[in-house]
Amino acid sequence: MTLTINLDKRAMRFMLMFATAVVCALLGGLALQQVINGILIDERVAVPHEWLAAGLRYAPNSARLLARLAETEIAEDEVDLARCEARARRAANLSPWDYQHQLLLASIEEAKGDRAAAEQYLRAARELAPNYTEVQWRLANLLVRQGRVAPALAEFRKVTAADRSLLPATFDLIWYASSRKAEALAAVTANDAPSQIALAQFLFKQAAIAEAVKVFRAIDSNARRSLPESAALIDGLIARGNVEMARDLWLEMVSQNQTSPAPLIWNGGFETDAASGLAQFDWAINPSDYLRAIIDAASPHSGSRSLRLEFTGRDTLRLNGEVKQLIVVRPQARYRLEFYVKARDFVSPEGPRLVIVHSRTNTEIAASAPVAEGSYDWQRVTLEFVSPADWNAVLLTIKRTPKFSYDEPTRGALWLDDFTLSDLSYK
């Protein structure tokens, strides 16, 4: 079927021109709507207030445009809160299922000083978006500003369980709002290990050491071993001087047998490898230009391994801290250090010594005789000392300080094994 229009007729021409004008107008309106929807209400684009107001004249029923204009005006120095509220209410009426309009109304009410009304709008927003962290976060903060800390705790717990990155800010807020109560912090913290270790770290930074340790101990032992923050907490305790507490926590993580007392020198026979990231009270063994330190499985004094020290033959041997262990002691108590040494082709102007050092002041407390030259089988060495009166930790280390600026090279190898430390005060 073919439809033929005779354009020579004046009436038909007029109808065609009118239809074209209508289509152009509709297309222009759609284009304007695209500008409004694509630019004016795009929160990623900074739009001047004048543009938003102009856009509203063309789209008076755009809820998003009304809301954005109200948000822009409320941030101005001289704000007309009544006008902002009217626009926000109209936006909420036009789009009643958009929770953001309820948040906007809550902001306006709080700017007016009516926190009770703001709370009602926030609760309405939560009804519309029960799983949105932003809504719960704002409600929880408003409750704190109202002085209602107890009901805020449950809201904060939901927030931090959904977004763990908000824990630090939550801890800061609740710590001061609750007058520094650790139980309030516990109430906003989920039970998972990362959240609990974050709580322990915060308490530690606030010098609430006992509370931090209590939280830390309640974390599953396997989780504690795997969390890098555990080592940081142990290091922090040592730095603050809580060395004995640090070692107790360290032992709980690394010891396979917690029913029997741990030896004062840990891993004295070098039988086990240091736990990854948890070497605070184990041997710290570091190579240097003068020395290679190797765990050796050949011909130990007892067990299956010993420590072999291979000297590189560099002139003027200096040793200070290549092999060391931090040891917890009782203040002003008498101890006996015992260990075994053997040598192969060991040549030195003066051999290294095993030295006990005050771990805080680095003052030398006692030292063994220099290790003898030569080649010989295992020999027992003992050293007695009195621990510091003002401190409860010493450092066991290997030292050699040359008497002159130059001396002959040190060559050969030494083996060390079976370190034990005995408290003579109990004997």
pLDDT at 164 over 80: yes
In this structure, are residues 407 and 316 in contact, taking their beta carbons and an 8 Å threshold? yes
d(CA 61, CA 56): 8
Confirm or reject CATH 2.60.120.260 for domain 284-426, answering yes or no: yes
Contacts 24+ apart (CB under 8 A), 27-32: 32/58, 32/59
Distance CA 18, CA 1 (A): 26
Partners of residue 376 on adjacent β-strands = 343
By the 8 A CB rule, do 227 and 193 touch? Answer: yes
Token readout for 75 is: 């941030």
State the average pLDDT over residues 263-291: 91
* pLDDT computed for residue 91 by the predictor: 85
d(Cα 175, Cα 304) in Å, to the nearest integer?
52
Mean pLDDT within 373-393: 95
Contact 345, 412 (CB under 8 A): yes
264 in Cβ contact with 327 (< 8 Å): yes
Task: Locate 419 and state its tokens.
Answer: 């370190």
> What SS3 state is found at 246?
helix
How confident is the model over 200-247, as pLDDT tens digits? 999 999 999 999 999 999 998 888 888 889 999 999 999 999 999 999
Residue 38: the pLDDT is 55
**What are the start and end residues of each CATH 2.60.120.260 domain in the chain?**
284-426
3 state DSSP class of 59:
coil
> Is the per-residue pLDDT at 80 higher than 70?
yes
pLDDT tens digits, 8-38: 555 445 444 544 444 344 334 445 555 555 5
What's the mean pLDDT in 324-333? 96
Mean pLDDT of the region 124-132: 92
Distinct helix (H) and strand (E) counts, the chain = 15, 10
Beta strand 364-367 pairing with 411-423: unpaired
CA distances from 250 to 205, 247, 401 (A): 19, 5, 32
pLDDT at 21: 46
Q: Compute the average pLDDT of residues 187-195.
A: 94
Average pLDDT, the chain: 86
- Please state the rounded mean pLDDT for residues 68-72: 77
Measured distance CA(291)–CA(289) in Å, rounded: 6
pLDDT value, residue 23:
39
How many residues can be counted in the chain? 427
| 395 Cβ contact partners less than 8 Å away, ≥ 6 residues apart | 324, 325, 326, 327, 356, 357, 358, 359
The two tokens of residue 103 are: 């948040």
Per-residue burial over 384-399, b = 16 or more CB atoms within 10 Å of its CB, e = otherwise? ebbbbeebbbbbbbbb
- Give the global pTM: 0.78
